[in-house]
Structures are given as C-alpha cells and as structure tokens.
Amino acid sequence: MHEQDDALLDEGNLNEKEGRILDAACKIFALKGFSATTTNEIAKEAGIAEGTIFRYFKTKKHLLHGLLKQLVHIMADRIAIPPIEKILSQTQGKAIKDILKEVMIDRMALVEKHFPLAKVVLSEAMLHQDIRDIILGKITDRVMPLMGDFIDRMVLEGKIRPMKSHIALRCFVGNTLLLVVQRQLLKDKFPIEDIEQEIDETIDLMLYGFANREKGGI
C-alpha cells in the first residue's frame, strides 16, 4: 500500500504489491462503485503496471469480482470482527446497557468510516451468492458463536432473560444499521441532534420494549 494515513486496509503480512492493489481497489470501488471500476484505474492508483494485477489475482474474466471477495475477507478478519471480539471478551463488571452501547458505537463508527465501500459490498452481495457466502460464513463462524457466548453469560448473570442469539443479533444489527442509514442518507429529513442520547434510547427500547415500566407495563 501507499505510505499514507488514510489507507483503508492494513496489509499485515500481505505481499507489498498485493496490499497496494487491494488498497487501491478498495478506494476506487468506494469512489466509483464496483461495476464502473477498471483494472487500469486500480493499477494507476496502486502505482503499478496493469499486468501486475493479474499476477496476484488470476481471476481472468472475473478479476474485479475476485478483488472484491479478497476485500470482504480482509475487512471482516482485520477490521470488522476483532474490535467486537475485544469488547465482548471484556464485559466483567459492566452493565448490559453499557456493553451494548460500546458495541453499537463501535459498529456505527466502523460502518460510517467505510460507508461508500459498505454500500458496494452490500449491493454486490445482493447479486452474487459467493459474496453472500463469505459474509454469512464470517457471521456463522465468528460472530454468532461470540454473540451466543455473550448472551449465555448475560443470562447466567441474570442480566437478560433466556433468548436465541440469532434473534438478539438481528435486533441489535437492525437497529444499528437503521441509525447509520438515518445519519448517512436521511439526515436532512430526520436529523439526529444528540447521537449518544439516541443510542441510549435505542438500547433502552431493545432491553425493555415499549412497556411503561412506571405504570406496570402494558
């Protein structure tokens, strides 16, 4: 990758040129969309010859699709999943509301930082089964066990009632994504004046529902 502060991916132990190609592809996908991106544009952004791309990503006819698959893998393994693993492994002594708030703030910051690319990935996932399989595989293999363990701990500690982890995940992810959409796409019609208060009230609604606890519920 280029030596710069705004690189979207940390190449880790990737080959140096391979990392530059992925970083360049990530930026152009985010700016122009997946379909409008060419390998020549990626090569220019990466500072390499176009033919070099084909030495590292031999997908031939579906080269750009192969690059997108690589990016989904890397973003999930190095950017999206580790922070939530850290948060949910350090819950000792914390209130359930504070844990959920920490996770929601982290997830919102992640999606908002990479929102243009996230739109590209989601749109392609709607069209291509293999992209969906990668995303679902990450959720099934990493996120669901993590959520399951977290929910089991919270149940044992008496902080929440017994529930299925996939339902809890759907509720939490759905509310988080809707907040992101509101801030990114609907901010003119539905402005959020105090995002922290909005998060607090959203989590309160998830934990306690619509019942008026002061009046004894519905």
**Radius of gyration for the alpha carbons in the chain, expressed in angstroms and rounded:** 20
* Residue 177 lies in domain: 61-215
For residues 2 and 23, give the distance between their C-alpha atoms in angstroms, rounded to a whole number. 8
Give the pLDDT of residue 61.
55
Are 13 and 50 part of one and the same domain?
A: yes
For residues 99 and 88, give the distance between their C-alpha atoms in angstroms, rounded to a whole number. 8
pLDDT in tens, the chain (218 residues): 333 334 545 444 457 777 788 788 888 888 888 888 888 998 999 999 988 888 877 654 566 777 778 778 877 887 888 999 999 888 888 899 999 999 999 988 888 887 877 888 888 888 888 888 988 888 888 888 888 889 888 888 888 888 888 888 889 889 998 998 888 888 888 888 889 999 999 999 988 888 776 665 55
Are 199 and 95 part of one and the same domain?
A: yes
Last residue of a domain, one of 58, 77, 98: 58
Give the pLDDT of residue 217.
52
Are 72 and 150 part of one and the same domain?
A: yes
Are 26 and 131 part of one and the same domain?
A: no
Are 19 and 69 part of one and the same domain?
A: no
Whether 21 contacts 67, CB under 8 Å:
yes
Q: How many domains does the chain have?
A: 2
Q: What is the dihedral of CA 127, 132, 135, 136, to 10 degrees?
A: 150
Are 36 and 139 part of one and the same domain?
A: no
For residues 46 and 54, give the distance between their C-alpha atoms in angstroms, rounded to a whole number. 13
For residues 10 and 153, give the distance between their C-alpha atoms in angstroms, rounded to a whole number. 33
- CATH number of the structural domain spanning residue 30: 1.10.10.60
Residue the block writes with tokens 């850290």: 86
Residue the block writes with tokens 């090569």: 43
* DSSP-assigned states of every residue in 32-86: H-TTT--HHHHHHHHTS-HHHHHHH---GGGHHHHHHHHHHHHIIIIIIHHHHHH
Residue the block writes with tokens 């996770």: 103
Are 153 and 197 part of one and the same domain?
A: yes
Are 199 and 149 part of one and the same domain?
A: yes
Give the pLDDT of residue 203.
93
Last residue of a domain, one of 58, 73, 89: 58
Are 176 and 130 part of one and the same domain?
A: yes
Are 19 and 70 part of one and the same domain?
A: no
Are 52 and 81 part of one and the same domain?
A: no
C-alpha dist (Å) from residue 153 to 132, 134, 161, 204: 30, 28, 11, 20
